[in-house]
Every structure is written in structure tokens, then in C-alpha cells.
């Protein structure tokens, strides 16, 4: 049975099915671990929306690499990622919001490896920046609430989780090849800044 908690859930339906990752104090501790890995940034467009990304300082400190994957994964890809996380010695992973529009720490969920759990985590937080991670912070993924996730960790973990890293990155680049005439200027500014930030850390092989 889930422990009573005063930390806000962004999807109350989860409380009936997914356990919280401890009492309020423990959830706050874990949420702060997630926030330590990221930074808030904006792009110079009229709307000046705020976004979340892994900080370059954190990626350098951990010697991590990144790649971009769909938030909704094919079953075979999910099985491989779950296996890579379990190979690190984990029987669960944690999920919480890291959204610049939400001023307080929110619920931290304890997820397992049931079929479709990671997809469920993303779809239950549509429109919200979220992070999946472990207390040991030996890998993490950052979902944008709109279909994409940045998966980060040591190169050995990324290879175990995804296989051919070059193929994954090329697939992302192919999705980005929208004719200039059809691309929204705000989207172009976002992805240009996104690639520039992550360029030194992209896992291409």
C-alpha cells in the first residue's frame, strides 16, 4: 500500500497503482538528486518558454554521453533498456517531474520493469518534463512531455541499452530533416540550441 504523502502528484491515477519512493523526506531527497542533474534554459523567441536539459557540468563530471530516443518505445527496445538497467543491479527505477513551470518538488514514483511501465510513466505526464533515474545516478533519461527523451549515461550503458548508437542518432537526425519552409521558427531555434548544447556529449558510435 502506498505511503501517505503530501508531495503533489501530477497524475492522481498513479497513486492507485504505482508506489511512492518512500516517505515525504525520502521523496524530497530523491527529487533533489534529479534536479541536480539538470538546468533550466530558454531560447530567444517571442514566447520565451523555459525548458529542461542535462547540464553540461553534470555530463562532464560523470563522463556521460547522450542520445535521443522516442518516449514511446517499441516493446523490444523497452525490454533491452530494462535489461541494461537491471544489469546495473537495480530492481526498480525512479521517476519524477523536473519541469520549470512547477515551482515545488513533486511525487517521486518507484517503477519496476513490467511491460510498458516506461511508456506509462511518459504518457501519464504528457506535456511535462520528467526524469527517470536511480538513487545511484548511474544513468538517467529526460522526457520532454512531447514524444522525445534524452537518454544519458556511460557509453557502455548506452550500448547495452540501445545497441547500435549510430543508428539511433541517425534516426533522430532523419526525423529532424524538415524543410526550412515547413519548420516553425520556434521549433528550429529550440532544436538548434538543443544540438549545440549536447554536441560534445552525443553518442554516435
**CB-CB neighbours of 17 under 10 Å:** 10
Range with lowest mean pLDDT among 1-15, 24-38, 152-166, 169-183: 169-183
- DSSP-derived letter for residue 197 is H
| pLDDT, position 191 | 87
**C-alpha span between 160 and 86 (Å, rounded):** 11
Query: Whose grid coordinates read 529550440?
Result: 190
Instruction: Tell me what percent of the chain is helix, strand and coil, each rounded to the nearest 5.
Output: 40, 20, 40
Which set of grid coordinates corresponds to residue 22? 518512500
Encode pLDDT of 27-62 as tens digits: 999 999 999 999 999 986 666 789 999 999 999 999
For the chain, what is the mean pLDDT? 91
113 Cβ contact list (under 8 Å, min separation 6): 82, 85, 86, 92
* C-alpha distances in Å from residue 179, one per residue of 15, 18, 105, 170, 183: 43, 42, 39, 17, 6
Which set of grid coordinates corresponds to residue 130? 520528467
| pLDDT, position 1 | 43
Max mean pLDDT among 9-18, 41-50, 177-186 falls in: 9-18
**C-alpha span between 18 and 61 (Å, rounded):** 32
- DSSP-derived letter for residue 202 is B
Dmax (CA) of the chain: 53
* C-alpha distances in Å from residue 69, one per residue of 19, 95, 101, 142, 184: 26, 17, 24, 10, 22
**C-alpha span between 137 and 146 (Å, rounded):** 24
Region 158-186 average pLDDT: 81
Contact 64, 153 (CB under 8 A): yes
**C-alpha span between 205 and 202 (Å, rounded):** 9
**C-alpha span between 22 and 29 (Å, rounded):** 10
What is the reported pTM? 0.92
Amino acid at each position: 500500500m502506498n505511503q501517505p504523502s503530501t508531495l503533489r502528484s501530477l497524475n492522481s491515477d498513479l497513486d492507485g497503482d504505482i508506489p511512492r519512493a518512500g516517505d515525504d523526506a525520502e521523496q524530497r531527497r530523491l527529487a533533489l538528486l534529479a534536479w541536480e542533474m539538470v538546468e533550466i534554459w530558454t531560447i530567444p523567441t517571442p514566447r520565451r518558454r523555459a525548458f529542461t536539459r542535462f547540464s553540461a557540468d553534470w555530463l562532464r563530471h560523470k563522463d556521460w554521453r547522450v542520445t535521443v530516443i522516442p518516449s514511446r518505445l517499441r516493446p523490444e527496445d523497452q525490454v533491452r533498456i530494462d535489461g541494461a538497467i537491471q544489469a546495473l543491479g537495480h530492481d526498480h527505477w525512479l521517476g519524477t517531474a523536473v519541469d520549470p513551470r512547477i515551482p515545488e518538488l513533486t511525487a517521486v514514483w518507484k517503477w519496476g520493469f513490467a511491460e510498458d511501465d516506461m511508456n506509462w510513466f511518459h504518457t501519464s505526464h504528457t506535456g511535462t518534463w520528467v526524469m527517470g533515474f536511480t538513487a545511484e545516478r548511474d544513468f538517467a533519461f529526460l522526457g520532454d512531455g512531447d514524444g522525445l527523451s534524452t537518454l544519458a549515461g556511460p557509453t557502455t550503458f548506452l550500448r547495452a541499452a540501445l545497441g547500435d548508437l549510430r543508428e539511433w542518432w541517425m534516426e533522430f537526425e532523419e526525423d529532424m530533416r524538415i524543410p526550412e519552409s515547413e519548420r516553425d521558427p520556434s521549433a528550429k531555434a529550440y532544436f538548434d540550441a538543443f544540438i549545440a548544447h549536447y554536441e560534445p556529449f552525443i553518442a554516435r558510435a
